[in-house]
Every structure is written in structure tokens, then in C-alpha cells.
Amino acid sequence: MTETGIHYLDACGPDGMRLYAIGDVHGRHDLLAAMHRCIASELEYVPASDWRIIHLGDYVDRGPDSRSVIDFLIAARARDPRNLMLAGNHDIGFLDFLDSPDPDGLFMSYGGIQTAASYGVKLSTGSSWFGRPDEALARGHAALVEAVPQAHVDFLRSLTFSATFGDFFFCHAGIRPGVPLDRQNQQDLIWIRDAFHDHPGLFSKVIVHGHTPVPKAEVMANRVNVDTLAWKAGTLSALAVNGGDKRILTVQGKAL
């Protein structure tokens, strides 16, 4: 695999198809909308016969407007199905919380309170007894279940875990080295870090991912990381691919 893999410098998108892969949004509707305006301007100024905009997951939590992010993505996909949305661990964590309010789970521990606030619901961090929510959290959970539109739940449930175009494989977190791309575990696709980041060899495709924040987009021989901590730093990044031409796009907003 390491000897027959593809190097970033040699990787190409499909003939005639422009690709854009957008990193973790985390509730920054302002940055997501700005990135889409940037891409739309490019496609208008230099038209492409075909295109895909691939969103790499983590649409919710931490930032201030997760609800508007999901509304935006639902509308974008309805407008043109070439807008593709992949699942991130926080998106699955939101679904998990709606199903069962774990006071110590991902949602409550890492920015879910901000997500709930975007739906007009105040969640107490509460306390737990053998992993069960206290009364305040149970009430907040019930209010959130009521406040989240079914269309948002359906959207989150519809998210796929990977996509492949040309010499590129897109997912949220990364892949398990040594496992064929079509046999990757969903948990790895949304959670993996060290085993993937530390792998020195090439893969059968260049892996484009987010999940692990970096100060600026990280371009390696075998992978590209476009998670630039949008929710806090105010920088949202994307990889743009046009044949063999590859570049990083960024939009800048207010840091939180």
C-alpha cells in the first residue's frame, strides 16, 4: 500500500469536475455562508462542467448557531444534490443525546450546550448518578427533543461517512491504515487520530479530513487536514481541486 499509493502532488480530481471540501463548521453559520459565497463566485467566474461541494462533518456544537448551519445545509442539498454532507462525531453525538441524554457524553461535555441554545433551549450541566441525568437535565432534554425539527433529525440520520472522487477519499477524521478504503469502520472514520496521523506511508488515495484542529490547513503527502478551528479562531478552510490543481481556500470571520 505504501509503495503503490498516491502522493498529494500527483493526485487529481475527476476530469471536468471541480471539488471543494469544507472543514469543520461547529455552529459558525456566518463562515459557512461566506465559504459558499466564495465558491459560488469561483464557479460563476470560472465555470466548471461539473462540481461537488463536500462538507466534512461536525456542523454542530461549540459555535453559536448550529441550528442555522443545519438549515443552511438542508437548503443547499435541496437546491442542488451536488452539495454533499458527511458525518462528524459531533453530529452523531447530537443524535445520540437526543436519543438518550447522557450527562457525561460528548454532547454535554464538548459544546452541546451551545447547540441547544441555538434551538432556544437552556441545558443545565446537571449531575449524574451512575450515568443517569438529573431532573434538570431530563427537563432540558425533553425541551430540546421538542425544539429540534424532525427535518434536522432526518438530515443528521442521512449523513454518510465517506465519499471518493478521483484520487481523493473524503471523511471526517481519517482512516485506519492497512484497512481497504471500502472496508473502513464508521467509528474510525469519525474518531481516529494518532494511528492515522502518524502513518508515514502513502494510501491508495489522498485522505481529505478534518476533526483535529490545526492553525492552518495541513497538506501532507498522504492527507490534507482542513479543520482550522472555525468556531473559535474564525477561520474556515476548504481544499479546492480542479484536475491536478489543488489549493486551500479560507474565509475569515470574528474569533470567539
- Average pLDDT per block of 10 residues along the chain, 256 residues long: 79 98 98 98 95 98 98 98 98 97 94 98 71 80 97 98 98 98 98 97 98 98 98 98 98 95
Domain CATH code at residue 186: 3.60.21.10
- The count of domains in the chain is 1
With respect to residue 129, please indicate whether it lies within any of the assigned structural domains: no
Instruction: Return the pLDDT at 247.
Output: 98
Q: C-alpha grid cell for residue 54?
A: 463536500
With respect to residue 30, please indicate whether it lies within any of the assigned structural domains: yes
With respect to residue 15, please indicate whether it lies within any of the assigned structural domains: yes
With respect to residue 13, please indicate whether it lies within any of the assigned structural domains: yes
Instruction: Return the pLDDT at 1.
Output: 36
Exposure on the CB side of residue 222, measured as CA atoms within 13 A? 18
Q: Which position has the grid cell 461536525?
A: 58
Q: Which of 173, 164, 170, 163 is nearest to 210 (CA)?
A: 173
Q: C-alpha grid cell for residue 130?
A: 451512575
pTM comes to 0.95
Expressed as residue numbers, the domain containing 196 is: 8-88+159-252
With respect to residue 234, please indicate whether it lies within any of the assigned structural domains: yes
With respect to residue 104, please indicate whether it lies within any of the assigned structural domains: no
With respect to residue 143, please indicate whether it lies within any of the assigned structural domains: no
With respect to residue 130, please indicate whether it lies within any of the assigned structural domains: no
